[in-house]
Structure 1
Amino acid sequence: MKKDMAYAIELPYWQAPNDDIVLKSKGDSLTAFFKIWNSSAKYSVFTGIFDFSYVWAMRYERNKNLSYYIPREDDDFRACYWIVKDSSWLEKLKIERSSFFPEWDKYDIGEYYHYIIQSDSFYVEIIAKDLKISRKKLTGIF
């Protein structure tokens, strides 16, 4: 398997492609809110929600080089997020953590994943144990 290859996973909702997301963090949780389309350029009354739990790290970057994302022409997804199966970033974090807390993995049970979500002009990369995707009628988010 090629290191840092990201695989697209279809979202259950059509994330509006030209809109920004709103990020909210508290403790080790990160929530990203996104606008949903019902059909092309027709907004839903619902707001999409990415709920990440047990977040270890997060970064976002404008104008990201897409070199490790599989070209998406092979699918018909209207919207997706990505998982990096063999993440060098996650590997680096584990090595760094082991250098000052050698037995951390005996206490921090569970698997971490490298997720990527997209906003209009940037990518948000999250190392977390869990992701739940939902939608709700919300006001005042955007």
Structure 2
Amino acid sequence: MKAQYLTEIELPIWADPQGDLMLEKSRDDCHVYFDCWEDNKPTYANYIGKIIFENAWAVKSLDIEYYDIFPIEDWKYKSSICVVENSCWLDEMIQVRTRHYNNWTKWKDKNYRHFHCKGHDNYFDIIAENYKVEKVLKKDVEHYEKLWR
């Protein structure tokens, strides 16, 4: 079995390290939301973070504080997501998809990665092509206020 490990990717915003994550998923869309701190000090910002995963087609979640895969280097960033390198789950999901759609790589010619998003006591693993990060003003998304209340 190949050795799996995490590669850390710095986020351009500071996710609350004790905060929760929320996920919205539809066919190809996957969004992860989280509360944020101000850039220069650990006080709550007037916005939440939104990670938009592009061409996402598999998600798993677990409400637990610890993850069984670790980075091979020390954690470097105050706020990050990770890519699971040599992902066994990605390999497994590619096999499942190929079993059902034997030519899917011809109509979905993408380079997929296994992303890992961690909250304080939960995490989401997402297979997607890429991601982008946005700030969303709290006043515009009252539906997500359980993230900061």
Q: CA deviation at 1:25?
A: 2.2
String of CA shifts for 1:19-68, please: whole Å, max 9, x gaps. 1122222331011111111112x101121110112111000112264342
Between the aligned partners of 2:67 and 2:136, the Cα distance in structure 1 is 31
3-state DSSP of counterpart to 1:82: strand
Between the aligned partners of 1:102 and 1:24, the Cα distance in structure 2 is 28
3-state DSSP of counterpart to 1:35: strand
Please say if 1:56 is aligned against 2:57: yes
Q: TM-score, normalised by structure 2?
A: 0.84
Equivalence for 1:44? 45
Higher relative strand content:
1
CA contact (8 A) 2:5 2:72 kept: no
Equivalence for 2:23? 23
> What percent identity do the matched residue pairs reach?
22
| Structure 1: gaps spanning 5 or more residues | none
| Structure 2: gaps spanning 5 or more residues | none
RMSD: 1.8
Q: TM-score, normalised by structure 1?
A: 0.87
Say how many residue pairs are matched.
139
Between the aligned partners of 1:37 and 1:72, the Cα distance in structure 2 is 25
Equivalence for 2:115? 115
Moved over 6 A (4+): none
